Amino acid sequence: MKQVNIRLPMAVGLSLLSLSVSADIPSARIIDGTPAEDNSWPFIGALVQTGFAASQGQICGASYLGGRYVLTAAHCVEGTSANDIELVFGVNDLDDESQGTRISVNNIYMHEDYEPNQLLNDVAVLELPRELTSLEATPVTLSQSGRLDELYMSGDVTLTVAGWGTTVPNGGTVLPDSLLQVDVKLVSYQECNDVYGDVPSQNFCAGTPTEGQDSCRGDSGGPIIVKETGEQLGWVSWGDQYCGREGSYGVYADAGYFEGWLSRFTSGLSYTQNEHIGYHEFGTLTHQFGFKNTGTNPVTFSAAQLSELEGSTTSIVNNTCSTQALLSNESCVIEVQLAVDEYREYQAELALDYTMGSESYSITNNVIYEGVEQAPSALRDVLTFDFDEVYVNDNPWVAIDGGIQSATIGDNQRSVVVIEGIPQGYLTVDVEVSSENGFDELRARINQTDLEPLSGSEAFSTRLSLLQSSNTLRFEYVKDASTSSGDDRAVLTNMRFSQNATGGITPVISEGSGGALSPYWLLLLSIPLLRRRRNL
């Protein structure tokens, strides 16, 4: 093995908690690449964050598969919702808003066995509200099963990868720019293993043995094609923490390996695979799983089974999907009742079998919801911005002078506050955490997007970008099974709401047991994006 390398996803990463600092906007480049000619990648798309210019909000790359479907990497959409992302097609320069097509995302379908720590099954399909026209994008041709082995046998194979990821090898920021591409060589499976050790057969390596020529952060999910044929062999997944390092390569997911999985999620059945359905007081919750046939063949459902993953009572009360075949453009629902009887997060799963044409499929639909109660009036009164409701668990946050603070809790306990119905805009807040470093932590969620936990000793100001018409913030201070450190709490103070993003914020970082502030919260711009590569 040549050297020890750290696997890092090539995504920008998605975070809605942002700190306004003076910095260049991270942008779009391949390491040692050249500008792509206009229309030379008619199937490539940029995955961007809803509500922001494409040049500022670019997260990952993607490929148009035809119909309503787009291919990207699972880690590009992990922990987010369809409302938070959009796609831009038909443009090279993301700064040029007059070009191309920007389109929303209806649903996200991630591989059910996606494993984020090792980036296994790093594949996702995004469903669009409509098909793209030939003037907007043309479908890519994906390599079929076994094609990678053929190329290994053929010897010297040149591939081309394109994207809007950073050009700085260490992942630093640069100004926005046009789509770039670079030629790289397909690397033998043995050489790939010599560098990284035990690389799964669902991946392959490409690059050069010398320094340079690589994909990097922000290129994740983007296509790598066989230069001679134009077919997409795979997509950017992960690599060394220093892009283009001598003796290392970019690692890509193999399109042929996922051929069967992709056929399941591009068949024409539209549904929500994973959904957060909110915060609910104790009682019975009713939810409808909806399905629509956007394909041409009838859909016949069978074997619907509902389960709650920790054993609470669940039941199917109405099933219009089982009565008859679902024809093209028809919809049906399966209505369920879910119990809420504890202060915890629930996950219910609906497993469903169906046939479409001559093919049979099995899918799962997951809903997540949390048992809470209304917060006391003292906690509500200290919040000076508009909201609809405030919820807590059995260890509620408490009002303090100028803000709120997590409850005094013991080992294996958690203190939760949820603020619902905050209007679109920006909420500035001072954050302080004093805890056992690496174990007791503050966790935050904006709508359905989770942020990196904070622990140790930290204090800073940040701005929360609330992009939806109605937004939900959730904060949880959680303790592990033993040991306390510092003040053992999280504090949020000086909360100010505005409808614009003007004004800077100077971070203040306290030095203590936690050291420097986590880059997931600090290294952010005046937009709610964090270009990141996680250590795995």
3-state SS, 342-394, equals CCCEEEEEEEEEEEECCEEEEEEEEEEEEECEECCHHHHHCCCCCCCEEEECC
| Six-digit token string for 448 | 């359905």
CA gap 450, 117 in Å, rounded = 16
Instruction: With beta carbons less than 8 A apart as the criterion, state whether 108 and 124 touch.
Output: yes
Bridge-based pairing of strands 449-450 and 180-187 is unpaired
Bridge-based pairing of strands 274-280 and 359-371 is parallel
Helix, strand, or coil (residue 189): helix
Bridge partners (DSSP) listed for residue 293:
269
111 is an active site residue = no
Taking Cα atoms as reference points, which of 159, 131, 155 lies closest to residue 67?
A: 131
Q: Which amino acid is at 232?
A: Q
Question: What size, in residues, is the chain?
Answer: 536
Ranges of beta strands (E only) in 164-200 are 180-187
CA gap 514, 519 in Å, rounded = 13
75 is an active site residue = yes
Q: Which amino acid is at 409?
A: I
287 is an active site residue = no
Task: Name the catalytic one among 15, 20, 32, 75.
Answer: 75
- The alpha-helical segments, DSSP class H, found in 374-413 are 377-381
Instruction: With beta carbons less than 8 A apart as the criterion, state whether 232 and 63 touch.
Output: yes
Give Dmax (Cα) for the chain.
72
Cα→Cα distances 206→55, 180, 210, 510, Å: 27, 17, 12, 42
Instruction: With beta carbons less than 8 A apart as the criterion, state whether 477 and 489 touch.
Output: yes
CA gap 268, 322 in Å, rounded = 18
Taking Cα atoms as reference points, which of 314, 351, 354, 353 lies closest to residue 336?
A: 314
Task: Name the catalytic one among 20, 63, 215, 220.
Answer: 220
CA gap 364, 306 in Å, rounded = 10
Helix, strand, or coil (residue 476): strand
Task: Name the catalytic one among 32, 84, 122, 430.
Answer: 122
What does residue 89 show for φ and ψ, rounded to 5 degrees?
-120, 155
Which string of DSSP letters, residue by residue, matches 239-297?
Answer: E-SSTT-TT--EEEEETTTTHHHHHHTTSSEEE-SEEEEEEE-SEEEEEEEEEEE-SSS
Instruction: With beta carbons less than 8 A apart as the criterion, state whether 217 and 242 touch.
Output: no
Residues tagged active-site:
75, 122, 220
